[in-house]
Structure 1
Amino acid sequence: MFVTHQASLFDVEPSGPTIGDLACAITRTQLSAGAWVDHAPGWVAGSEDLFSDLVHNVAWRSDRRPMYDRVVDVPRLLCFYDAADPLPNPLLAQARSLLSEHYANELGEPFTTAGLCLYRDGSDSVAWHGDTIGRSRTADTMVAIVSLGDARPLLLRPRAGGATLRFQLGHGDLLVMGGSCQRTWEHAVPKTNRAVGPRISVQFRPHDVR
């Protein structure tokens, strides 16, 4: 299905994966136009076990989307869990609950859905975009991303133009985009010619945000 994944010796815990303390782990970067990004490297410790479980047990599917005058393959595998759907691993439910608790005062509601993407190798990617389907088109919201497997760069740039930010995400890292970020900034995971292994992105969102 993808390039063989080489497990990181620094991301294996004998007792299994554990989730860290958000209050101690997060660093916030204030962006323009009321947007911000929180970053917590290695939030999920020992994430290799979680990564392996999701690779083998999630019902991954390919998708096709219209682009200009043709229909093309989406360059990654997908799986979406709505609010009522059981998540494929209890650690994801724990992560969603902890994120909802930590951001309760700012977000004002819980994270409810989980979208999973599997980037099989460097040819899989996601183009520049904001998550603006639903309420996030007009209102501030949050998207929390947990990255598992090999690290890939997630890039952010202001829609109005300006410098691009780069976060190298994998091995249990957490990135939370908040405020106006989905409307006023864009993010992407670009293709690469380097020999990279697979990465899973888990995106937690509130109701009616895609």
Structure 2
Amino acid sequence: MAAHLQGSLFDQTDPIDPAGRAGGTDGAGGIGPGPLTGVRRSVLGDGAWLDLLPGWLSGADALFVHLARTVPWRAERRRMYDREVAVPRLLAFYGAADPLPHPALDAARDALSARYAAELGEPFVTAGLCYYRDGRDSVAWHGDRIGRGSREDTMVAIVSVGEPRDLALRPRGGGAPARRVPLGHGDLVVMGGSCQRTWEHAVPKTARGAGPRISVQFRPRGVR
């Protein structure tokens, strides 16, 4: 399932084996999150905010290869108007009781839960994965409003591995130019406050040569 990835010169680790190890003896092989002290927050308006930390996850390219090869990706089809269409990306979901596909993701989820405990008031518990194979894969404008996100402030933390793709954001209902944040190679973005209710986000299709990318979305209980 792995697609060709152009590795980052700033994110080099030893190759991983099929079990997810890459050098060392700790089972994670130097793949994992760094400190969260460099997070930069942008206030979006209407109670929404965005935190960004480029390159938070070290060994991100090796992690991409591991996830692309080992995650049980599924292709979905959805009803759109009068016909059924293919969802333009591959998907996987890990519930609160499911083991994550690499220990680096456990470490990332724990670090995010600790960092945002005071604001969120609860841990991140689920992980949704999206595999964007090339520039034709995308996700349309939406907010994570299934469940509590439709009526409560919440958070969604996204870690991206693989080639960068733009995360676009705009106020719900339009009325302002969309903001674009390129994410890949271990970058972290956290959407918080009212962001899921008052703003929308998307990964647009692109005609430029786009390499493969996997995003990992950590969410608290009852948010999809």
TM superposition score normalised by structure 2 = 0.90
CA deviation after TM superposition for structure 1 residue 46, in Å: 2.1
Is 1:203 aligned to residue 214 of structure 2? no
Maintained 8 Å contact 2:32/2:108? no
Maintained 8 Å contact 2:138/2:204? yes
Indicate which of 189, 207, 219 corresponds to 1:193. 207
- CA distance in 2: counterparts of 1:44 and 1:109, whole angstroms: 22
Deviation digits for residues 105-141 of structure 1, max 9, x if unmatched? 0000000000000000000000000000000000000
CA deviation after TM superposition for structure 1 residue 48, in Å: 1.1
Indicate which of 7, 10, 18 corresponds to 2:32. 18
Indicate which of 108, 132, 136 corresponds to 2:149. 136
Q: Does 151-160 or 169-178 show the bigger shift?
A: 151-160
Question: Which amino acid letter does the alignment assign opposite residue 158 of structure 1?
Answer: P
Residue 218 of structure 2: SS of its match in structure 1? strand
Stretches of structure 1 lacking an aligned partner (at least 5 in a row): none
TM superposition score normalised by structure 1 = 0.96
- CA distance in 1: counterparts of 2:81 and 2:45, whole angstroms: 31
CA deviation after TM superposition for structure 1 residue 3, in Å: 5.0
Deviation digits for residues 1-51 of structure 1, max 9, x if unmatched? 5752122222113563231111x2200001111000000000002211111
Query: After the TM superposition, which residues 81-92 of structure 1 pair with which residues of structure 2 at under 5 Å, given as runs?
Result: 81-92=94-105
Maintained 8 Å contact 1:2/1:197? no
- CA distance in 1: counterparts of 2:62 and 2:145, whole angstroms: 32
Maintained 8 Å contact 2:167/2:181? yes
Q: What do you get for the CA RMSD once the two structures are aligned?
A: 1.2
Maintained 8 Å contact 1:16/1:49? no
Is 1:50 aligned to residue 78 of structure 2? no
Residue 92 of structure 2: SS of its match in structure 1? strand
- CA distance in 1: counterparts of 2:122 and 2:59, whole angstroms: 29
Query: After the TM superposition, which residues 145-156 of structure 1 pair with which residues of structure 2 at under 5 Å, given as runs?
Result: 145-156=158-169
Indicate which of 19, 26, 40 corresponds to 1:27. 40
Is 1:4 aligned to residue 4 of structure 2? yes
Percent identity of paired positions between Structure 1 and Structure 2: 63
Maintained 8 Å contact 1:25/1:43? no
Deviation digits for residues 133-177 of structure 1, max 9, x if unmatched? 000000000000000000000000001421311100000000000
Maintained 8 Å contact 2:32/2:107? no
Residue 98 of structure 1: SS of its match in structure 2? helix
Residue 188 of structure 2: SS of its match in structure 1? strand
Maintained 8 Å contact 2:2/2:68? no
- CA distance in 1: counterparts of 2:147 and 2:120, whole angstroms: 16
Residue 74 of structure 1: SS of its match in structure 2? strand
Residue 11 of structure 1: SS of its match in structure 2? coil
How many residues align structurally?
209
Which residue matches 1:78? Answer: 91
Stretches of structure 2 lacking an aligned partner (at least 5 in a row): 15-28
- CA distance in 1: counterparts of 2:41 and 2:164, whole angstroms: 20
Residue 203 of structure 1: SS of its match in structure 2? strand
Is 1:119 aligned to residue 132 of structure 2? yes
Indicate which of 143, 165, 168 corresponds to 2:182. 168
Maintained 8 Å contact 2:2/2:65? no
Indicate which of 42, 52, 66 corresponds to 1:39. 52
Maintained 8 Å contact 2:140/2:204? yes
Question: Which amino acid letter does the alignment assign opposite residue 12 of structure 2?
Answer: V
